[in-house]
Structure 1
């Protein structure tokens, strides 16, 4: 992979900001930083340039809650005409106690995946990803299961109970938090992160030869907005306790370094989900082998549900490989 142009979503704060700094330190020639507000993104650009003493940052407005914003961002990138070698889909949202549905009709914690899908598909269709491009999308440990208080929905069972076994319809219901979905912020968060892991593996089957995608959990970090949006139990009891336990938290730079590490992985592990070892939220990341992550029917259901909700499909253009 060339170390020429990288794009980081959600770069105005937290892990995205830390990742942009790490990319500058790693010798990247240009780092495109995105945020919902162009003014804030320009401010971030200037701050990063001042801190790193490098004039390699360029701002790009991108609101992942808005299909129109994604299209506008893609149009701007087409205008610039420079292929991206590393696409870091970092932006995320932690659900609040009360269910929030975006103007696009998507449950708030699922919205970043929809926006990231629109961006990725748009870049692929415009041939704006380099021939050996790497795509890293942020997931989290609850996707693999076994995290206290964060239980993901059993998609096949949910589909069998309410949708005649149609996992795509069931996945769409989770994305929209529609009928038959009993909302819980922790479950919504786990479902969103699992949907990302499935989406990544489905995308891997559709990428041109030479490109690769990985779902990566950055692990626990005090830079994320978990505390800001968490319910009282998490915000005032669990998170403060976890922050005091050695090895259960890490700096933004250490967390973001997982993204950079994954960007150097090979195509042999494209589509895979990498996270902390079982029972941990920091330290070396490992390829996750839990069976539910690797059910192809669930992966394809997630992909087709995202396509339906977003309206963005690869449509098998000549430059892209067919699904094997």
Structure 2
């Protein structure tokens, strides 16, 4: 990588902010940073410039829940004409005790993927990704299925029971949290992160040679806003307890560095999900070998469901 131009979504605080700062420290020349409000991301860009003593941060307003905001961001990037070499899709939250849907009818913890999908496809269509781009999207340990209190939905079983075996319809039901999907916050979060892993694998197969995409879990870093909507038990009991157990949490700065490792990953591992070793929630990341991550039928079902919900596909993309 030439360390020229990067784009980090969700950079107003937490892991996105820490990742943007780390990229500056590593010598990246220009860094686009996005946030839900222009005022908020402008303030973050100013703080990043002051902390790193580098005037390289360009703030962009991006509300992933709103297709018009994604389109506006894309138009802004087209005007600038810069090809991005590292794209960090950083957004997510642990959902609260009550189900929340976006205006488009997407469950809140699933919604960032829809916006990120629209952004990636738009960048590809506009030829704004470098031929050697590395795309990283934020995953999470619960997608493995071995994290206490978190479990994911058996998509094949859901499809067989309620959708005549149609796994695309089953994944769409999870994205929208219905019909025939009972809302459970921790399961919704695990489902969202597993669908991200599947979507990443499907995206990787569609990218031109040289480009690569990875889902990367930053591990347990609870000192961020990702838990802002989590249940009181999780926020005020479980997470504070974790902080007292050695090896169970990391700082945002340490966790964000795991994202940046993917800049050096090769194309032969494109599409894979990287996380802490099985049974752990912090530490060095490795490619996950669990069979459910590598189910190609589910990967393609996730891709097609996201295409259906977002209304955006790569079918007409020509490089």
- Shorter-chain TM-score bucket reads over 0.9
Does structure 1 conserve the Cα–Cα contact (< 8 Å) formed by 2:136 and 2:259?
yes
User: How many corresponding residue pairs?
Assistant: 319
- What aligned pairs does 1:144-293 form with structure 2 within 5 A after superposition? 144-293=144-293
Does structure 1 conserve the Cα–Cα contact (< 8 Å) formed by 2:70 and 2:119?
yes
Alignment partners' CA distance in 2, 1:50 and 1:213: 31
Does structure 2 conserve the Cα–Cα contact (< 8 Å) formed by 1:94 and 1:225?
no
Match of 1:40 in 2: 40
Does structure 1 conserve the Cα–Cα contact (< 8 Å) formed by 2:33 and 2:59?
yes
Alignment partners' CA distance in 2, 1:93 and 1:128: 28
Q: Deviations over 1:143-179 (max 9, x none)?
A: 1111111110000011101001100000001001111
Alignment partners' CA distance in 2, 1:282 and 1:252: 12
SS in structure 2 opposite 1:134? strand
SS in structure 2 opposite 1:194? helix
Match of 1:22 in 2: 22
Match of 1:86 in 2: 86
Please report how far the alpha carbon of residue 4 of structure 1 lies from its aligned counterpart in structure 2 after TM superposition: 0.6
Alignment partners' CA distance in 2, 1:14 and 1:255: 10
Gaps of 5+ in 2: none
Please report how far the alpha carbon of residue 189 of structure 1 lies from its aligned counterpart in structure 2 after TM superposition: 0.2
Alignment partners' CA distance in 2, 1:91 and 1:226: 8
Match of 1:322 in 2: none
SS in structure 2 opposite 1:205? helix
Alignment partners' CA distance in 2, 1:311 and 1:16: 27
Does structure 2 conserve the Cα–Cα contact (< 8 Å) formed by 1:2 and 1:132?
no
Alignment partners' CA distance in 2, 1:35 and 1:92: 13
Q: Deviations over 1:83-107 (max 9, x none)?
A: 1000000111221110000011100
- What aligned pairs does 1:286-305 form with structure 2 within 5 A after superposition? 286-305=286-305
Alignment partners' CA distance in 2, 1:106 and 1:82: 31
Q: Deviations over 1:202-232 (max 9, x none)?
A: 0000001100000000001133324422212
Match of 2:4 in 1: 4
SS in structure 1 opposite 2:31? strand
Please report how far the alpha carbon of residue 118 of structure 1 lies from its aligned counterpart in structure 2 after TM superposition: 0.4
SS in structure 2 opposite 1:263? helix
SS in structure 1 opposite 2:228? helix
Gaps of 5+ in 1: 320-324
TM-score by length of 2: 0.98
SS in structure 1 opposite 2:188? helix
Does structure 2 conserve the Cα–Cα contact (< 8 Å) formed by 1:35 and 1:41?
yes
- What aligned pairs does 1:36-185 form with structure 2 within 5 A after superposition? 36-185=36-185
Of residues 187-196 and 1-10 in structure 1, the stretch that sits farther from structure 2 once superposed is 1-10
SS in structure 2 opposite 1:39? helix
4+ residue runs of structure 1 moved beyond 6 angstroms? none
Does structure 1 conserve the Cα–Cα contact (< 8 Å) formed by 2:106 and 2:176?
yes
Does structure 2 conserve the Cα–Cα contact (< 8 Å) formed by 1:227 and 1:239?
no
Alignment partners' CA distance in 1, 2:224 and 2:25: 22
TM-score by length of 1: 0.97
